[in-house]
Chains A and B, each alone.
Chain A
Amino acid sequence: MTITPIGPISPVTGPSAITAASGASSATGGTDFAGALAKGLDNVQQLQNKSDDLAVQAATGSLTDVHDYMIASTEASLATQLTVAVTNKAVAAFNDIMRMQA
């Protein structure tokens, strides 16, 4: 009766595998979260500027379309709410990960 020898233990794959995965995803052209958030903030800023301009026009009496201002302010409000929701979700995810101990 022969005992088959146990094969050598394969080396533990380190965290390099994870970094390789994230590197691969950025190499495929997917936007990272920071970039998406910055783009979203730019969009919000544009909508707020448009709403502000129309508010000045409404106050000075040079506004031709009343609904334009109301719609611009609605869009700005919605975009702000969207950004806040995304930010809150990101912070919640960060906190969840930070709580992962023991």
Chain B
Amino acid sequence: MPTFDSIGIAATGATTYRKWLDAVSDNISNMNDAVSTSSAAFQQRFVIAQPAADGNGVQVGGIVLGDPNGRVVYEPNNPLADKDGNVRYPDIDLSDQMGQLIMAQRGYQANLSVVDRARDAYQAALQLGRNA
């Protein structure tokens, strides 16, 4: 968008932070998925942010998955437990996810603030010479 560059760039940022929010919510919702030790645990989602291919803004380059081993917990009463009484949980730290949640939310809001300010600036430019 050649006329309104900063608005388009901020839009790419908002989209990226939205995907980060999605990844965090995916991680939090699957935080307590217990599986048997013979299968892989839910892998934490990491969003890879990188400069956009066309040089305007940011884009998500992909999702990197965390440790499939997770953490092995002794829960002999769990029906999924193996003969030693262990089950596998995803290696996701809730406090870490909450921190990421705040960062993603603030980043999203910051990009929308850029859109707002850019719109104000463009509208001020349109007032130039209005009464000349």
Query: What is A's interface to B at a CB cutoff of 8 Å?
Result: 43, 65, 67-68, 70-71, 74-75, 78-79, 81-82, 85, 89
Contact = CB atoms under 8 A, between A and B. Distances in A.
Contacts of B47: none
B115 A78 contact: no
A67 B15 contact: yes
A70 B122 CA distance: 16
A82 B14 CA distance: 25
Nearest to A71: B11
Contacts of A71: 7-8, 10-11, 14, 115
Interface in B5-19: 7-8, 10-11, 14-15, 18
B106 interface: no
Nearest to A66: B18
A8 to B, nearest CB: 46
18 contacts: A43-B3, A65-B14, A67-B11, A67-B112, A68-B11, A68-B15, A71-B11, A71-B14, A74-B119, A75-B1, A78-B3, A78-B119, A78-B123, A78-B126, A81-B123, A81-B126, A82-B122, A85-B130
Nearest to A40: B3
A71 B112 CA distance: 9
A70 B118 CA distance: 14
Contacts of B8: 71, 75
Contact of A74 (B7, B14, B111, B130): B7
Interface-centre pick from A65, A68, A74 (highest chain B CB count, 10 A): A74
A81 B126 CA distance: 8
Interface of B: 1, 3-4, 7-8, 10-11, 14-15, 18, 111-112, 115, 119, 122-123, 126, 129-130
A62 to B, nearest CB: 16
Given A74-B115, A75-B7, A65 B123 contact: no
For the complex of A and B, 10 pairs with smallest distance between CB atoms:
A67-B14, A71-B11, A85-B126, A78-B122, A75-B4, A81-B126, A74-B119, A65-B15, A71-B115, A75-B7
B3 A79 contact: yes
Given A65-B18, A67-B18, A78 B11 contact: no
